Chains A and B, each alone.
Chain A
Amino acid sequence: MKRLVTFTVNGEMQKVTVEPYRSLLDVLRNEVGLTGTKKGCDVGDCSACTVILNGQPVNSCLVLGVEADGMVIETIEGLAQKMEDGYALHPLQKNFLKYGAAQCGFCTPGMIMAAKALLDGNPHPTEAEVRFAIAGNICRCTGFAKIVEAILRTNVDG
């Protein structure tokens, strides 16, 4: 039986009616219409579907849509700041571009959200801490080298 669920996504309130067995990932992609978060495996093994849920990075494929009721969700679409004419990219997004950290780009939204969660709590991580923070995010294109570099060089303070 469908349930009404209300949550905030990227600062905006969303109300959707969904079956309890739909994952938050599917709800975000279909009902809310935000397809930036990707489905790489659907079983929590690849972290491509990482979103930040009440401040914590989680695999949205393993959260039910109905569980997100009342919660605050950040997805990749919410990172860039809307300006009068265009967008201002988040420092992480700028550095992913600058250091060539996105090749096919499929792991990128989840990777950036995992990195954002790291920097939100630890603005100056070591390389080991960066690699640990993205240890669950699979990338098959880059060998992680430029991803780690981009995150390490991101100074969220300025």
Chain B
Amino acid sequence: MHKTYAVVGSSPTKIDGIEKVTGSATYGADYNWPGTLYGRIKRSPYAHAQVVSIDTTKALVLDGVNAVLTFKDVPRAKHAGLPAPRAGSLAVDQNVLTDKARFVGDGIAAVAAVSEEIAEVALDLIEIEYELLPLVLDITEATKPGAPHIHGTEKNEVMPPVVVERGDVAAEFAKADHIVEGTYTTGRPIHCYMEPNVCVCKFDQNGKLTIWSSTQTPFSVRQSISEVLSIPLHKIQVIVEHMGGGFGAKQDLYQHEYVCVLLARKTGRPVKMEYSRKETFLATRTRHPVTVRLKHGLKKDGTLTAREGTYISDSGGYGSHGPGVTAVGTINLTSLYQCSENWKLEGRSVYTNAPVAGAYRGFGAVQGFFALDVQMDEMAEVVGMDPVAFRLKNAVGEGDPSPSGHPLHGYSLAKCLQRGAEEMNWAAKWQQPEVKSGFVRTGLGVGTEMHSSGAYPDIKEISGAILKMNEDGSVNLLTGVADLGTGALTAMAQIAAEELGIYFEDIIVIAGDTDVAPYDIGAYASRTTHIGGKAVQKAATKLKQKLLTLAAERLETPISDLDIHNGKIIEQGKPALSVQDLVKGDGGTPASAIISEVTHESKVAYSFAAHFAEVEVDTETGQIEVKQVVAVHEVGKIINQKGVEGQIEGGIQQGLGHSITEDLILDPETGQPLNPSFVDYKMPLSMDMPSIKTIILEEEPDPGGPFGAKGVGEDPIIAIGPAIANAVSNAIGVRIRDLPITPERVLEAMEEKRLADL
């Protein structure tokens, strides 16, 4: 069915675009209330240490210091960094301020002072005596008997293992024509959003607390602050006007948010706490480094018959999203490529004294699908098939189980693969790995993925929307959706305008204020368009119905003859009355309140992607250059074209970095991060990016999404990793199974092969 859309599918100017390009957008650090104090946290320089004594006297008497807090002055009960309903995904093991440091950077105390300089001096004046505890940085060592206890759980495990089993893997392995197995590891990348974490807290005369925080989950901030600090929920308002990126790290609360509230309460003044860039490296979240052991049984013809694997994640000093990431990463391995419904998978998460790992775009799928997609190439090689053909043979499609257990619809993965292979001229350019000449070798690789649009069934997926008609025919859209830069709010406005039949410019979006917006669980899991947008669409449908009912009365026509288009009521195809005239009320009398509200609960939908990467490897230096990426994504329906492209291009920058140059490196003796800065933590910059061609397919619209739209935010960061690894393997003739693919690893791999070939 060919439908022409008025505004959905195009790229109207973002609703917050002008603020951003003129510098008038307000981010957390831009708030300057009179009397604001500056808060800083005193952090442990040790990865595992018990505080023996702490003396704040000198800090307290320093001129300009208004308050000092230590772990003794704050609530001691452990919390999850997110409120209770999310606890299924998290560990409840964090402290507002701690007396036992479990990673370098763990917060012990805090100060509030009249300037940042004085706050820094005050931190130095807090005297802390530590007893150093033995530390552990390796997940295997951490689970051995006698390993240092980080939280007192058995074997330092964050939660009981996740186990999924179906069919009879052992029997299938016994009769398989081929068995392929391997171990795959991923590194420790970190988000590096441009806006460092920041929080401003202010109590008013009524004891009402307003928190301006750079957060993806304002309602979670409100609830967690209420729970942990025992402040009534209705006394807390969280406002996010603009935020400078999050990518999952700003889904959690950190010590500074709780501490900021406590300092504001104690001093009676507004308090601002801004992370330094170094603190964002030490004391926020990283991605979980994961070791995946994977084994497949397959037939001569390439059909996969069984899959067995373990997925073990390094959680760092606290659990955060370890349970969720591990569960998602493990359970994802039941899908993407069919394995005749025989699988046995186990996932574990282990505490170490590394920086805390948490939610990061791709949430466990990055690591698991990396292993699967690389092993797909290995298996293709074993049976002598082209990697794309091998994938097409086993790709999940209609009726196959998805990770949530629901059957999939359509053949999106196959279509992405076919379209990309065509665009890349794969058949002509790809060869079986063979020795190439010259010191620069080119290689081609493919990586694929699937991702849910929402976190169902792990989390009850819920979003609300309220549409409020104004007398001039414009509409206020109140949405709980958070926009971390993705353009989500613009998409919401497009959806409302499209469904209602009024102009995009006449939708006024109100968001980012927990006092006003309807409840929403937050911006993560690629859910904002699919779920937040569906709530908006439903609310718009309701509102449209109210308008048409009114119009039918006014025009004395059956509703079935009416529609709305471009802000006009259309009667039997002809404009009859403007919406404004319909709602404005009669000369001075106020218009009736025309409001619709909806709470939308969701099931799950899946987007798919196939990335094709072309790389050049300098075999003398081991350096890799990604020359070209063809990224094919199936998203159901594009709401904002440039928005979708932007997610893909940005996701590729991050995934490319994670594959080649990004890794937070720890000193093996002390656990201290050795590169907590932009100069030594190497993200791809403008000159390092390949040319990217995005192809967006709308093959499988999902009825659960607005106009069929599914998510896209996380898909690109997942598919690019295996695409690059497989391309490098193709270039140098050696299998790459570990990220990041550093030059040292490339040279080592080539040297091993050279020795093996002798």
Contact = CB atoms under 8 A, between A and B. Distances in A.
Nearest to B16: A105
A37 B23 contact: yes
B14 interface: yes
B22 A46 contact: no
A35 to B, nearest CB: 4
B430 interface: no
**Main secondary structure on chain B at its contact with chain A?**
loop
Interface string B264-302: 000000000010110000000000000000000000000
A137 B686 contact: yes
Contact of B683 (A33, A98, A138, A145): A138
Contacts of B13: 97-98
A148 interface: yes
Nearest to B117: A21
B277 A106 contact: no
Given A141-B646, A143-B649, A143-B652, A36 B683 contact: no
Nearest to A33: B32
A42 B678 CA distance: 11
Contacts of B242: 104-105
Given A75-B23, A96-B21, A103-B486, A43 B194 contact: no
A93 B642 contact: no
A100 interface: yes
Interface in B469-528: 484-487
Interface residues of A, number: 58
B485 A103 contact: yes
A43 B679 CA distance: 10
A39 B686 contact: no
A40 interface: yes
Contacts, number: 177
B598 to A, nearest CB: 28
Interface in B1-56: 11, 13-14, 16-27, 29-30, 32
Given A43-B277, A146-B649, A102 B23 contact: no
Nearest to A128: B687
A68 interface: no
A124 to B, nearest CB: 18
B23 A109 contact: yes
B650 interface: yes
Contacts of A106: 27, 193-195, 244-245, 485
Nearest to A46: B678
Contacts of A138: 192, 194, 678, 683, 685
Nearest to A146: B646
Given A145-B649, A148-B686, A140 B17 contact: no
B672 interface: no
A135 interface: yes
B677 interface: yes
B686 to A, nearest CB: 4
Contacts of A109: 23
A79 interface: yes
Given A41-B277, A138-B685, A143-B692, A104 B244 contact: yes
A60 interface: no
B324 interface: no
Given A97-B21, A104-B245, A132 B689 contact: no
A75 B643 CA distance: 27
A2 B29 CA distance: 24
A76 B23 contact: yes
A20 B17 CA distance: 36
B194 A38 contact: yes
Contacts of B27: 38, 106
Contacts of A41: 196, 277, 677-678
A44 B20 CA distance: 22
A131 B689 CA distance: 10
Contact of A100 (B25, B243, B277, B643): B643
Interface string A58-93: 000000000000000001110110000001010011
B679 A45 contact: yes
A119 interface: no
Contacts of B726: none
Interface string A1-16: 0000000000000000
Nearest to B277: A41
Contact of B14 (A79, A87, A89, A100): A100
B193 A104 contact: yes
B89 interface: no
Given A41-B677, A43-B277, A96-B21, A103 B686 contact: no
Interface of A: 21, 29-30, 33-43, 45-46, 48, 75-77, 79-80, 87, 89, 92-93, 96-100, 102-109, 112, 130-132, 134-148
Interface of B: 11, 13-14, 16-27, 29-30, 32, 117, 191-196, 242-245, 247, 274, 276-277, 484-487, 642-643, 645-646, 649-654, 677-679, 683, 685-687, 689, 692
19 contacts: A36-B24, A39-B274, A40-B196, A42-B276, A100-B645, A102-B17, A103-B487, A104-B245, A106-B193, A106-B485, A108-B23, A112-B21, A134-B686, A140-B192, A140-B193, A141-B650, A144-B649, A144-B653, A146-B649
